[in-house]
């Protein structure tokens, strides 16, 4: 695994600056959580790293070299909506095979598909299923397996549990932690849910109005926040301040 | 399976039957009746209908019926060829933005838009002149003239598909643009394209007949239906069938294509689909009427909501009983599909046939919704807030007048007074500059503001109960906090009760006094919200609480997960619906459904260690 670093990244749509000189490092084998309210540019940052959003300024480097934005990217992304992230007409196996870096023979391909499905705790028999037969959580696991199929150096996970039911979310979060432990994955984990980020991330970056306002080890940022905005986010959590008395 | 579905409906049957006949004629008529159609009979020129010549003969004495049949091949081949040209050109032009990159693509798209604006017939005539008179020229002309419409259709369909994340994922995985187009985009737009092409072929057939009729299309000695019509026109007064016969053939063939297209559309689930076979065989079990619990603003007993579905009735809510006292806040939690929203909709009186609502009683603010016409009178004693207020506001109307509408309808207020109240209510839900905001459209509001406006709409009346279905799910924590605070404040000021539906256990415990936990259409546990995390007795409730990480979750252990999938509401298991996923389940659980006794529906609630 490798280090993905954002240097003074700036993204503008027309006159609207979405990201303003964002610098952030996802170091080897670490999971970095990115939190912030909706519209603050979290997805844009991830999309810029895989060439889906145009950079207006700055650089995104993988081990010191620019991330290629053509061909198979060494940085892979998993998306938020489980119902839009898999082609409804391709079987699970076909979706995985498409993302594999080299063309394999039939048996080697089957073996690789089975290996990937096992990594995300799915039965190899699922390879023949169309996405329509999978639950939301299963789809997200297939999407994760597809990202792994490309043998990436870094994975960007954009709100991958927010469309899932709570009972399924837990399974996906456990999986993310297992994968970091077993595969040493580097990951940028985007979520607006602080409790979820606290559970999976080693470091947390807080994005506000297109700028990183706080960055540090998870326990420190969420336990002893230094920036006002981080404190504001934490105070907004249900149960943080009793609602009934406060109003 | 789909083919069967197409054939089973009358439109599909008629369309396919007709199309088969037309295609059979196109394939075999020239072989079978080619000789007869060409046989000159000088003794029988321009004869009328007879037993031998069903619709008469032409100026050389050739049998017209045979000629109409034989002309089917050329007519159909030309129509199909022209449609194919339109389709291929359309796909190429429509895919241009994907293949050529943004700037060139935009150029192509605007050119297409300009061409679509031209009258179709004008284009056909223009290209017919360009490509020259004759069958081939006409086919090219009709095909090219039809391309812009297909290009626009393809462009729209493809744009929708390319937005999907799997296309982005394929690009990131290094799949080339052409392969993305072939593997991901085209297969996913194929169905609507096929439907449109089939219908277009019917139209093209007519255009062709028109061109040949004008002498621009097929030239003698070849003939298609249009040419036959032209030939027959001279004698139309003495011998109308000579012109009408081929005309009828055109109409029938056109109809065959159109009906088939319609049937495809219905089978693929495009457009409206009348009479889809949904079953609801289940007999109505009579529900005994029961009186409401006194001093409640909401009292429900034995609420059942059943939806007709293709695989049998979906029993989404299977007998829910609860009550909400004046001013109380009650939460409903559960996974998606557990029946939370349908319960809320039933309480709001918003469920309409064919979905069926049954209950012993369903009394909201003193009004029994099971009585006929009741929800009319419910009027302003109930306020409703949904997850996505964008869908609850009419996007085409300004926010202020939409709020005012409520008072004008229910309280018979004048326009001025109602609008003034709307502005006042927007202010009450803390929307800044309410006068200006009232004149804006819903899309100009942020998600949180729309949600406030929705609450404001509920406050136009004098609600005694607020039903809020996932009011903050689409919002992030800070805005969620503001909306929840607003709800709490509104309740304090108005004394309204609250029924809050959420999948987020922490939101519900934060806001509500009491919680109902739903699973597979039933309330499985009912308890004070302060006890939810610590004193829950039902295995499902305990699993649900343990599965959600909070700011105190133990980081050294994996999160608890609930194995298996939620119960399928079409095939709810006989005994306890949670049994397939429950670690404590035994044969008794699988056979006998537990009733809700003393706040919990579980045979082993006493055995669960607390
Ligand atoms: N293609 C685009 N054109 C114009 N504006 C855009 C585009 N993509 C994103 N934006 C704007 O950029 C801002 C940030 O968007 P982004 O999706 O990155 O936010 P986010 O933090 O991921 O939000 P959420 O949590 O809701 O997913 C938003 O204000 C959005 O309107
Ligand atoms: S009744 Fe049986 S299966 Fe159902 S929740 Fe209780 S223990 Fe589990
Ligand atoms: Mg986002």
Reduced to 3 states (helix: H, G, I; strand: E, B; else coil), residue B77 is helix
Q: Is the CB of A15 under 6 A from ligand 1?
A: no
What pLDDT does A18 receive? 84
List all residues 6 or more positions away from B52 whose beta carbon is below 8 Å from its beta carbon.
Answer: B63
What pLDDT does B275 receive? 39
Q: Which ligand is nearest to the CA of A38?
A: 1
Assigned domain for B420 exists: yes
Q: Is the CB of B582 under 6 A from ligand 2?
A: yes
User: Chain-centre distance of CA A138, in angstroms?
Assistant: 16
User: Where is the domain boundary, B516, B549, B566?
Assistant: B516
HSE-CB of B537 using CA atoms within 13 angstroms: 17
Whether the model pTM is above 0.80: no
List all residues 6 or more positions away from B375 whose beta carbon is below 8 Å from its beta carbon.
Answer: B348, B349, B350, B367, B369
What would the mean pLDDT of A108-112 be, rounded to a whole number? 92
Rg of the Cα atoms in chain A: 18
What pLDDT does A242 receive? 61
User: Where is the domain boundary, B246, B267, B288?
Assistant: B267
Q: Does the domain spanning A1-70+202-239 belong to CATH 3.40.50.300?
A: yes
Q: What is the dihedral of CA B529, B532, B533, B536, to 10 degrees?
A: 160
* A244 contacts B559? CB cut-off 8 A: no
B357 and B249 share one domain:
no
Share of chain B above pLDDT 70, in %: 90
Distance from the Cα of B328 to chain A's closest Cα (Å) equals 13
- pLDDT above 80 (res A70): no
Q: How far apart are CA B380 and CA B398, in angstroms?
A: 21
What pLDDT does B384 receive? 80
Whose Cα sits closest to atom 20 in ligand 1?
Answer: A39
What pLDDT does A157 receive? 92
Assigned domain for B545 exists: no
What pLDDT does B151 receive? 92
Residue of B596, B577, B575 whose CA lies nearest to B587: B575
B338 and B393 share one domain:
yes
Determine contact, residues B25/B17, Cβ cutoff 8 Å. Answer: no
B320 and B444 share one domain:
yes
Total number of domains in chain B: 2
> Which is the closest atom of ligand 1 to the Cα of A41?
18
* Domain of B375, in residue numbers: 296-516
B217 and B337 share one domain:
no
CB nearest B173 (choices: A150, A243, A244): A150
Residue in this structure with the two tokens 């197409």, named with its chain if needed: B6
Q: How many CB atoms lie within 10 A of CB B116?
A: 16
Highest mean pLDDT range out of B86-90, B442-446, B600-604?
A: B86-90
Tens of pLDDT, residues B366-377: 777 777 665 555
Reduced to 3 states (helix: H, G, I; strand: E, B; else coil), residue A1 is coil
What would the mean pLDDT of B574-588 be, rounded to a whole number? 87
* A232 contacts B173? CB cut-off 8 A: no
Note the maximum CA span of chain B: 106
Tens of pLDDT, residues B316-353: 898 899 989 888 999 999 887 788 888 988 888 777 77
Residue of B344, B269, B279 whose CA lies nearest to B570: B279
Distance from the Cα of B104 to chain A's closest Cα (Å) equals 18
Q: Is the CB of B359 under 6 A from ligand 2?
A: no
- pLDDT above 90 (res B124): no
How far is CA B256 from each of CA B20, B25, B28, rounded to the nearest angstrom? 9, 13, 18
DSSP class of residue B600 equals B
Reduced to 3 states (helix: H, G, I; strand: E, B; else coil), residue B563 is coil
Q: Is the CB of B576 under 6 A from ligand 2?
A: yes
Distance from the CA of B334 to the center of ligand 2, in angstroms?
A: 16
CATH number of A72-155+162-187: 3.40.50.300
Tens of pLDDT, residues A190-214: 988 888 999 999 999 999 988 899 9
Whose Cα sits closest to atom 13 in ligand 1?
Answer: A39
ipTM of the complex: 0.83
Mutation for A interface: B2, B102, B165, B339, most A CBs within 10 A: B165
Determine contact, residues B151/B93, Cβ cutoff 8 Å. Answer: yes
Whose Cα sits closest to atom 22 in ligand 1?
Answer: A43
Assigned domain for B566 exists: no
Tens of pLDDT, residues B449-491: 787 788 888 777 778 888 888 877 666 677 778 778 888 888 8
Report the DSSP pairing between strands B361-364 and B296-307: antiparallel
What pLDDT does B597 receive? 83
3-state secondary structure B186-243: HHHHHHHHHHHHHHHHHHHHHHHHHHHHCCCCCCCCCCCHHHHHHHHHCCCCCCCHHH
What pLDDT does B528 receive? 92
User: Where is the domain boundary, B483, B498, B516?
Assistant: B516
Q: Is the sign of the CA dihedral B438, B443, B448, B451 positive or negative?
A: positive
Distance from the Cα of A21 to chain B's closest Cα (Å) equals 24
Q: How far apart are CA A79 and CA A71, in angstroms?
A: 19
Assigned domain for B561 exists: no
What would the mean pLDDT of B73-86 be, rounded to a whole number? 93
* B547 contacts A88? CB cut-off 8 A: no
B194 and B329 share one domain:
no
* B549 contacts A195? CB cut-off 8 A: yes
CB nearest B175 (choices: A76, A98, A237): A98
Residue of B335, B351, B337 whose CA lies nearest to B303: B351
Tens of pLDDT, residues B203-237: 898 888 888 888 888 888 888 898 888 888 877 78
B302 and B243 share one domain:
no
Q: What ranges in B362-504 are assigned the alpha helix state H? A: 374-378, 389-392, 399-410, 415-428, 434-438, 447-458, 477-494
Note the maximum CA span of chain A: 66
A vs B: CB pairs below 8 A: 160
Q: Predicted confidence band at A120 (pLDDT cuts at 50, 70, 90)?
A: confident
Q: Which residue has the higher pLDDT, B86 or B359?
A: B86
Tokens read off for A222: 């969420």
How far is CA B561 from each of CA A139, A195, B72, rounded to the nearest angstrom? 17, 16, 65
What would the mean pLDDT of A38-56 be, rounded to a whole number? 85
Residues recorded for chain B: 610
Determine contact, residues B228/B239, Cβ cutoff 8 Å. Answer: no
B263 and B378 share one domain:
no
What pLDDT does B272 receive? 40
Q: Is the CB of A18 under 6 A from ligand 1?
A: yes
B310 and B208 share one domain:
no
Determine contact, residues A58/A9, Cβ cutoff 8 Å. Answer: yes
Q: How far apart are CA B582 and CA B562, in angstroms?
A: 8
Residue of chain A whose alpha carbon sits nearest to that of B177? A71
Report the DSSP pairing between strands A4-13 and A186-190: unpaired
What pLDDT does B609 receive? 53
Q: Is the sign of the CA dihedral B364, B368, B372, B373 positive or negative?
A: negative
Decide if A1-70+202-239 and A72-155+162-187 have a common fold: yes
Kindly report whether the peptide bond that precedes residue B354 is cis, defined as omega within 30 degrees of 0. yes
Burial class (CB within 10 angstroms; exposed 0-12, middle 13-18, buried 19+) of A9:
buried
CB nearest B506 (choices: A52, A70, A239): A239
Tens of pLDDT, residues B404-429: 887 777 777 788 888 888 888 888 77
Q: First and final CA of chain A: distance in angstroms? A: 49
Share of chain B above pLDDT 90, in %: 12
Determine contact, residues A207/A45, Cβ cutoff 8 Å. Answer: yes
Distance from the Cα of A23 to chain B's closest Cα (Å) equals 23
Q: Is the CB of A192 under 6 A from ligand 1?
A: yes
The residue extents of the domains of chain A are 1-70+202-239, 72-155+162-187
B222 and B342 share one domain:
no
Query: What is the rounded average pLDDT for all residues in chain B?
Result: 82
B224 and B301 share one domain:
no
Assigned domain for B177 exists: yes
Determine contact, residues B538/B371, Cβ cutoff 8 Å. Answer: no
What pLDDT does B70 receive? 92
Whose Cα sits closest to atom 5 in ligand 2?
Answer: B602
Q: Is the CB of B594 under 6 A from ligand 2?
A: yes
B45 and B191 share one domain:
yes
Residues of chain B neighbouring A70 (CB-CB closer than 8 A): 174
Q: How far apart are CA B261 and CA B269, in angstroms?
A: 12
What pLDDT does B610 receive? 47
């Amino acid at each position: 695994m490798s280090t993905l670093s954002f240097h003074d990244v700036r993204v503008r749509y027309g006159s609207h600056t979405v990201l303003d000189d964002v610098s952030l490092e996802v170091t080897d084998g670490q999971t970095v959580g990115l939190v912030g309210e909706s519209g603050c540019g979290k997805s844009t940052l991830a999309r810029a790293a895989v060439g889906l959003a145009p950079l207006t300024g700055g650089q995104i480097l993988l081990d010191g070299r620019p991330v290629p934005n053509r061909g198979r990217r060494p940085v892979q992304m998993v998306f938020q909506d489980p119902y839009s992230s898999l082609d409804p007409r391709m079987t699970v196996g076909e979706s995985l095979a498409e993302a594999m870096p080299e063309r394999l023979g039939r048996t080697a391909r089957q073996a690789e598909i089975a290996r990937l499905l096992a990594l995300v705790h799915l039965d190899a028999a699922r390879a023949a299923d169309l996405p329509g037969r999978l639950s939301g959580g299963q789809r997200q696991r297939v999407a994760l397996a597809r990202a792994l199929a490309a043998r990436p150096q870094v994975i960007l996970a954009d709100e991958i549990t927010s469309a899932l039911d709570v009972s399924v979310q837990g399974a996906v979060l456990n999986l993310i932690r297992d994968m970091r432990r077993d595969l040493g994955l580097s990951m940028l984990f985007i979520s607006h849910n602080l409790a979820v980020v606290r559970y999976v991330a080693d470091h947390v970056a807080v994005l506000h109005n297109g700028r990183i306002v706080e960055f540090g080890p998870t326990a420190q940022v969420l336990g002893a926040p230094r920036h006002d905005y981080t404190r504001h986010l934490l105070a907004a959590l249900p149960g943080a301040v009793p609602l009934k008395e406060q109003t | 399976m789909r083919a069967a579905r197409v054939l089973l409906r009358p439109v599909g049957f008629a369309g396919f039957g007709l199309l088969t006949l037309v295609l059979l004629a196109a394939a075999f008529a020239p072989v079978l009746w080619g000789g007869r159609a060409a046989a000159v009979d000088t003794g029988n020129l321009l004869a009328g209908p007879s037993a031998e010549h069903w619709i008469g003969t032409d100026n050389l004495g050739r049998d017209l019926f045979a000629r109409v049949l034989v002309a089917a091949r050329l007519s159909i081949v030309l129509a199909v060829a022209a449609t194919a040209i339109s389709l291929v050109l359309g796909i190429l032009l429509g895919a241009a933005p994907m293949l050529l990159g943004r700037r060139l693509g935009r150029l192509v798209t605007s050119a297409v838009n300009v061409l679509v604006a031209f009258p179709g017939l004008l284009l056909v005539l223009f290209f017919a002149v360009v490509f020259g008179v004759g069958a081939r020229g006409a086919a090219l002309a009709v095909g090219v003239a039809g391309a812009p419409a297909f290009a626009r259709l393809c462009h729209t369909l493809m744009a929708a598909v390319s937005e999907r994340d799997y296309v982005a994922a394929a690009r990131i995985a290094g799949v080339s643009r052409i392969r993305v187009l072939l593997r991901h985009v085209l297969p996913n737009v194929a169905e609507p394209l096929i439907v449109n092409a089939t219908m277009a072929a019917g139209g093209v057939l007519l255009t062709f007949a028109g061109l040949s009729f004008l002498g621009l299309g097929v030239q003698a000695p070849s003939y298609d239906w249009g040419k036959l019509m032209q030939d027959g026109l001279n004698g139309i007064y003495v011998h109308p069938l000579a012109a009408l016969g081929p005309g009828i053939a055109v109409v029938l063939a056109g109809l065959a294509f159109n009906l088939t297209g319609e049937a495809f559309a219905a089978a693929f689930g495009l457009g409206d689909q009348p009479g889809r076979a949904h079953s609801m065989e289940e007999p109505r079990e009579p529900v005994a009427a029961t009186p409401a619990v006194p001093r409640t603003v909401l009292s429900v007993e034995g609420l059942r909501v059943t939806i007709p579905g293709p695989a049998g009735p979906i029993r989404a809510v299977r007998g829910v009983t609860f009550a909400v006292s004046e001013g109380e806040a009650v939460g409903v939690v559960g996974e998606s599909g557990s029946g939370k929203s349908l319960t809320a909709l039933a309480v709001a009186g918003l469920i309409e046939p064919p979905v069926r609502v049954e209950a012993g009683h369903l009394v909201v603010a003193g009004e029994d919704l099971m009585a006929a016409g009741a929800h009319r009178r419910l009027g302003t004693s109930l306020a409703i807030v949904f997850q996505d207020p964008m869908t609850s506001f009419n996007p085409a109307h300004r926010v202020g007048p939409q709020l005012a509408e409520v008072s004008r309808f229910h309280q018979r207020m004048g326009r001025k007074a109602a609008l003034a109240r709307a502005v006042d209510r927007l202010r009450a839900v803390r929307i800044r500059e309410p006068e200006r905001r009232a004149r804006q459209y819903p899309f100009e509001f942020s998600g949180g503001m729309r949600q406030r406006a929705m609450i404001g709409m509920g406050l136009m009346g004098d609600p005694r109960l607020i039903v809020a279905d996932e009011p903050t799910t689409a919002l992030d924590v800070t805005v969620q906090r503001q909306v929840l605070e607003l709800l709490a404040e509104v309740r304090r000021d108005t004394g309204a009760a609250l029924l809050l539906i959420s999948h987020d256990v922490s939101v519900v415990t934060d806001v509500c006094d009491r919680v109902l936990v739903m699973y597979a259409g039933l309330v499985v546990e009912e308890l004070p919200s302060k006890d939810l995390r610590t004193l829950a007795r039902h295995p499902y409730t305990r699993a649900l609480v343990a599965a959600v990480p909070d700011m105190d979750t133990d980081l050294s252990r994996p999160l608890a997960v609930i194995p298996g999938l939620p119960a399928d509401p079409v095939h709810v298991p006989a005994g306890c619906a949670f049994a397939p996923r429950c670690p404590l389940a035994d044969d008794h659980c699988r056979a006998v459904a537990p009733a809700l006794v003393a706040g919990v529906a579980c045979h082993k609630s006493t055995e669960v260690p607390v």
